[in-house]
A and B are shown apart, each in its own frame.
Chain A
Amino acid sequence: MYISKNPYRPIKSEVMDVITETSTIKTIKIRPGEPIDFKTGQFIELTIPGVGEAPFTPSSRPAIKEMLEITVMKVGKVTEAIHNLKKGDIIGLRGPFGNGYPLDEFRGKEVLIVGGGCGFAPLRSLMYEFFDHEDEFKKLFFRGGCKTSKDFLYRKEIEEWAKRNNINLELTVDEGDSEWDWKVGVVTTILDDVDMDFANGVAIVCGPPIMMKYATKKLLEMGFRDKNIYLSMERNMSCGIGKCGHCRLGIYYTCKDGPVFRYDMIKNYPDIWD
């Protein structure tokens, strides 16, 4: 648990490895200077000394305490600095913050996981949590989509998941090529063959806003209840502790009350997908 008296203080941590995933995405392996015991779906704030901070949900197995991984797409100032990190560099970590996935709500149920693009990062952590407690969940359905085969984050790893028992897995890309032998089309097109008890099942969606918007629409059409759809909302989470005001969503702060929200909690707020 985070025991710091000063919630703005980063914990001194060391970069152990940097893995290039795609042309714009890297995974950073970090050894936290003090234990960070995160629940899957919670996030940390990563500090590049002198550059700034940005929030990331760890993509690694929560059970592994001594090493934490984050998977980062290069989009801004901090993420660019993260992409320039090398083994041995010193960074800062704060957290974990937020609510994480409510695993207790998923137990004994059929669970559909829908991911897109960089959304695979938090979902990877979640999937390992599911695999570590396999007998507690009735059945897993995984549906993943990316733009092209070259952007497909963790492709080899995800393809390994398909070989497990108790999982039904399908992948797609928007534009196919010779490297791709799964489906072609947007991710909503591979939801049609999901065969589960929608009214009692749980759906977890994580990906770019546009994908979450259409996936949620589709899930509702399929018969999922709005209170059983879990979304990872993306907002400007700066302080991580519900004070700085940037990530407000209605009566919630995404950093404190999220980043995972049940759809029924937020569906009446306009512009949630922007």
Chain B
Amino acid sequence: MMEKLLLRGDNFLKLVTGLGKDYSIYLPELKGNKLHFIKHNTEDTSNLSNENISYISLYRTFEPLKNFFFKAREIVAEDFKDDIPKHEEKPYCIIGVKACDLKGFLVQDHVFLNHDYKDPTYIKNRESNLIISVDCTSPIDTCFCLSMGIKPYPEENFDLNLSPIDNDFIVATGSARGEEIIKAYSSLFDKIGPEHLEKQGKNRKASEKIVEENIKQHEIPYQEMFSGIIEKNYEDSAWKDEASTCVECGACNTICPTCHCFLLYDQKDEEKMARLRVWDSCLIKDFALIAAGANPRPFLWMRLRNRFEKKFDYFPKVANFYACTGCGRCISACPGKIDIRRILKRLVDNVHK
């Protein structure tokens, strides 16, 4: 990894403008109290104010990062052609990505890159998109990344990472492409001093403290306690209790950075045939239904259990990680107030008390 550099706030705007030649730039914007990735018009940097810059470090966006790589709805094959469909749009440069979303790549890469069959559309998106992550400076009350073994600042899986220091940023490179960008825009970067690193350390500690407080307040167990929580609770009443308010909307799936299930959907207009890969939701009744009529999970509580089984039993067994990032999106998204923190606590308590 290259040495860390300093990017001054006004140079950040120049960097964004420069990258805009090759990439569609997406930055977090505050709408109400939620941050959303919004496409930025790089022709006109005047609309990027210091306030906008401050949004890039706050906390995770409302929607997960996965949508830039494994899109909600994407044509993955056309007619009988082997080539994946061409897109006119430039690749994405996503700025303000948080560490929790980067952990999502553990799952998405495992599914789409690391098997006998690779997903060429995902590979293309992964190879062409640029990730500029940023330390999380203001974790919100649903954040519990630390209990899932993630720090509130990115350590891997980014091209560049920015750590806000007052109005400037410490820049770390995490990939060969990141290094190329540093070289191409070398005049925008300055050397850092020990005072910058000290400040970075202080800021990071402060963010960790916020998450630690969340974990303490909600009594959220750490992942070191998760071994066996699904197998030992398989017939527990927790599933029926917790699923009683589920309305089968699938929001927890669409909002989740690790959910990867999809369905293939074919459409045909005139002579052209397209196959779409569309996000699917395991909470929906007919998810596992077969045409002959059998359904392995006919009840909602079974499907809620299945969601937890996939994340806390299947993935640790086949890939050696728990498929949760502690982003807390499913907590805010659920209209039935189903709370993953509460469920994990209950499962762990059952096993350890």
Contact = CB atoms under 8 A, between A and B. Distances in A.
B294 A6 contact: no
A8 B77 contact: yes
Q: Point out which of A49, A53, A245, A270 has the most chain B C-beta atoms below 10 A from its C-beta.
A: A245
B29 to A, nearest CB: 32
A239 interface: yes
B115 A10 contact: no
Interface residues of B, number: 46
B266 to A, nearest CB: 5
A4 B273 CA distance: 18
A115 interface: no
Interface string A232-270: 001110110111111110110000100000000000001
Contact of B291 (A33, A76, A251): A76
Contacts of A76: 291-292
Contacts of B294: 209, 234, 274
The residue in B263, B275, B296, B318 that gathers the most chain A C-beta atoms within 10 A of its C-beta is: B296
Interface stretch (B156-164, B214-222, B237-245, B281-289): B281-289
Contacts, number: 118
Given A5-B82, A8-B264, A49-B273, A75 B317 contact: no
A251 B275 contact: no
A242 B115 contact: yes
Given A6-B84, A209-B294, A235-B296, A52 B266 contact: yes
A64 interface: no
Contacts of B317: 251
A12 B287 CA distance: 28
B82 A4 contact: yes
Interface stretch (B2-10, B39-47, B116-124, B194-202): B116-124
A79 B291 contact: yes
Contacts of B116: 241-242, 256
Contacts of B83: 5-6
A42 interface: no
Interface in A37-59: 47, 49-54
A88 to B, nearest CB: 17
Interface string B40-78: 000000000000000000000000000000000000110
Interface in A1-39: 4-12, 33
Contact of A245 (B260, B289, B296, B298): B260
Nearest to B262: A244
B226 interface: no
Contact of B82 (A6, A33, A238): A6
A271 interface: yes
A239 B268 contact: no
Nearest to B117: A241
A6 B266 contact: no
A50 B268 contact: yes
Contacts of A7: 117-120
Given A50-B268, A51-B266, A246 B287 contact: yes
Contacts of A11: 80
Interface in A58-100: 73, 75-79, 92
B31 interface: no
A239 B115 CA distance: 13
Interface string A208-249: 110000000000000000000000001110110111111110
Interface of A: 4-12, 33, 47, 49-54, 73, 75-79, 92, 208-209, 234-236, 238-239, 241-248, 250-251, 256, 270-271, 274
15 contacts: A6-B81, A6-B84, A9-B81, A9-B275, A75-B291, A75-B292, A209-B294, A234-B290, A234-B294, A238-B263, A243-B111, A243-B262, A245-B261, A246-B287, A248-B310
Given A33-B80, A274-B295, 17 more contacts: A6-B81, A6-B82, A7-B117, A8-B76, A8-B119, A10-B77, A11-B80, A52-B266, A234-B294, A236-B288, A242-B117, A246-B287, A247-B288, A248-B314, A256-B115, A274-B294, A274-B296
8 interchain residue pairs of minimum CB distance? A50-B268, A245-B261, A76-B291, A241-B117, A12-B80, A8-B77, A7-B117, A9-B77
